[in-house]
Chain A
Amino acid sequence: MPEISLRSGSHCVIGQFRAMASPCEILLEQHDMALCRQLTELAATEAERIEQKYSRYRSDSVLSQLNSQAGSWQTLDVETMQLLAFADSCYQLSAGLFDISSGILRRAWQFDGSANIASQQQLDTLLPLIGWQKVKREANRLWLPAGMELDLGGIAKEYAVDKVLQLLSLQFTDAAIPSVVVNFGGDMRCSRPRDDGSLWRIGIENPALADQAISAVGLSNGALATSGDSRRFLLKDGVRYSHIINPTTGWPVTDAPRSVTVAAPNCLLAGMLATTALLQGRDAEAFLQAQQLQYWLVP
């Protein structure tokens, strides 16, 4: 279990730990340190479980095993199959823009703020290895074409937020669930409104434009997720290339907002909509408007 620390906030108590390359927090409205410690321990254990299972940086993760056995049929556990089924829905609903097999393009693009634009030649060698539609799925088996790789980086953290909140809620009878926020690096979900009627005010990591951007949002219920990171981009000939890559062309999306935050009933939904919005480039805002959910956008 990751190391946890506890502190008292002005209107809550907070348990903190690090997982999934992010600072993670459990915020509890009641000033009950012992309860907060128990909940944070549960949360840290669950977050670590999901990270170990789906991290592409760990060679023993289910995901790494899956990628290493590309080219053959593999039997997978129920949770993984369900995650992949969700990824499939995202792929279908985004008309192919959200593709968990596109992570391989990282070999051509390093978003370090430099002017190192990938060559079309590089991309042409990688594009045949991308395309979720090439992956075959059966009830509990999957076949990934040789050379292809899956990356759940765009789903795992949001999934972890929802799973952790579910786990914490299960510790109480329905009526007794306290107002709790699970916040993993700005992707967050709240169990229910606070008893004192006030809003949870939680800072979101501010994408560069410190003054204009959202520094804190109010949350009473449901989830918030943010996509975009203005530190990761390339700049050449005055064109800003975001780190969001269109998997069908291999080229970064241009004219996308720097960051999009979406409010939705659960974190997975909020996260998928935020990412899919960025993939729309200049149409991001029109896309968000069509979803009829609340959103914040940093242009």
Chain B
Amino acid sequence: MQLKQLANISAALAAASCALLGQQAQAGTVLDDWQFNSAILLYNETDRVSAGEAILTARGDFGDDKFLNLGLVVDALTGASATGAVAQPYVQSFTRPSGRGSYDVAPGVTPLDDTFHDTRVQLDASWEQPLAPNWRVSGGGHLSKEYDYLSMGLNGSVARDFNQKNTTVSLGLGYSHDTISPEGGIAKAFAPMLLRSSYVDDSSYQAAFDATRDRADDTKDTLDMLLGLTQVINRNWLMQVNYSLSMADGYMTDPFKLVSVVNSNGEVQQNLYETRPDQRTKHSLYWQNKLHLSGSFLDASYRYMWDDWELTSHTADVKWRLPMGDSWYVEPQFRYYQQSAAEFYQPFILQTEPLPQYISADYRIGKMNTYTVGAKFGTKLAQGNELSFRIALYQQTPENDGITAPGVLADVELYEKVTAVMAQLSYSF
């Protein structure tokens, strides 16, 4: 009897009081309880890739703290992307990854494949709701499709509040299954890039090209786990610490990337398709702080990531939102990122060396640091709508990880900087 009386009756009483006050009935007009967020981003690298991405998300409030989230992302990419091959003091010819068509690269210029055109559409949905007092669960999925890539995934999470909701512990799991089917099929490991000009006719070239390909598509499975701790420190300070583990198994090679084989004078003898390990386990620790500082809001985070490719990285990200007058705010943003090279990264290989088990000359997994500086300007409009504009400069600086460039390679840029401008317009309604 006593035990029963001491039970937690507040949730049931809350429901009864809301029924009496008609709050449910007011919130029952579900259509009024959708919140929409939209954004358009233009990303433009100097002389390289341009991308446009549009997002629309909707969050429906179904009462009792139950929410449905829907998202639609459309992006389009065009332009030139580094192939991984090295620059040479003379004109180089390359075959497109599909095997159809070729292009020339001028002396001293980092080889870029300018045939990238892709459009991607992604749909995602998730549902979140309380499970019991202080417990919340969510579950969702995504489907992403582009011309040569398909990704499907499921995710779920559970969170528990403690200490009058000042502490929250959460656990999330995600699984994703990706299929890549590049045009022209997937090259065998270390398959040479063939040139049409080396063959007498189309059919003999095509036969030789087909022999370098062994399958039309391949897959990758990724399992993600995220353990999070959120803590209210005081009235003006909120902190989060996450540990995440990501285990990927399958095809992680970039089917469009090459690595140059050079002689002792640095002259390219052959370009081979790269090959990467088919397993990768990534760990990261992420620490985020939100601080209220006399009317302004500071968001500062740090991430340390390491994996079994021996790539480690440090990321620091700071955003400081400063109110300007009644309804405007300006938010300077700065991000710094530094990574070490994956163990199998090499900008080129020497003809005299035996082939390693894995190799990639993709600068994105080489030693590199990047920074982003930007600012966001936003204003609150009537009825809680918000309009904002963001602009940022992103610069990648690949670095030499102690490799001596022989002969002619000493005179070309092997670690070319990449500069990009991002502009984003967002509207919430």
Contacts and interface: CB of A to CB of B under 8 A. Distances in A.
**A–B proximity contact (CB within 8 A):** yes
Contacts of B16: 85-86, 89-90, 93
Interface string B11-37: 011101111111100000000000000
A292 B13 CA distance: 13
B115 to A, nearest CB: 49
Interface string A118-151: 0000000000000000000000000000000000
List 5 tightest A-B contacts by C-beta distance, closest first: A89-B16, A268-B17, A86-B20, A291-B10, A93-B9
Nearest to B384: A175
Contact of A268 (B20, B134, B164, B384): B20
B352 interface: no
Contacts of B8: 290-292
Given A93-B12, A290-B7, 15 more contacts: A83-B20, A85-B16, A89-B13, A90-B16, A94-B5, A95-B1, A174-B384, A266-B17, A266-B23, A269-B17, A273-B9, A287-B6, A290-B6, A291-B9, A294-B164
B383 interface: yes
Contacts of B13: 89-90, 93, 269, 272-273
B21 A173 contact: no
Nearest to B21: A162
6 contacts: A93-B9, A268-B17, A286-B6, A287-B5, A291-B8, A292-B164
Nearest to A79: B20
A82 interface: yes
Contacts of A95: 1, 4-5
B198 interface: no
A221 interface: no
Nearest to B20: A86
A94 B21 contact: no
A77 B383 CA distance: 36
Main secondary structure of the interface of B (DSSP, over half): helix
Contacts of A85: 16, 19-20
- Size class of the contact patch on chain A: 20 to 34
A293 B12 CA distance: 14
Contacts of B22: 166
A283 B14 contact: no
Interface of B: 1-2, 4-10, 12-14, 16-23, 133-134, 164, 382-384
Contacts of B5: 94-95, 97, 280, 283, 287
Contact of A175 (B1, B12, B17, B383): B383
A293 B17 contact: no
A297 interface: no
A50 B88 CA distance: 89
A83 B16 CA distance: 10
Nearest to B380: A175
Interface in A160-206: 162-163, 166, 173-175
A93 B11 CA distance: 10
A19 interface: no
Nearest to B236: A197
Contacts of B18: 266
Nearest to B7: A290
B384 A272 contact: no
A95 B5 CA distance: 7
A280 B10 CA distance: 15
A81 B26 CA distance: 19
Contacts of A276: 9
Nearest to B32: A174
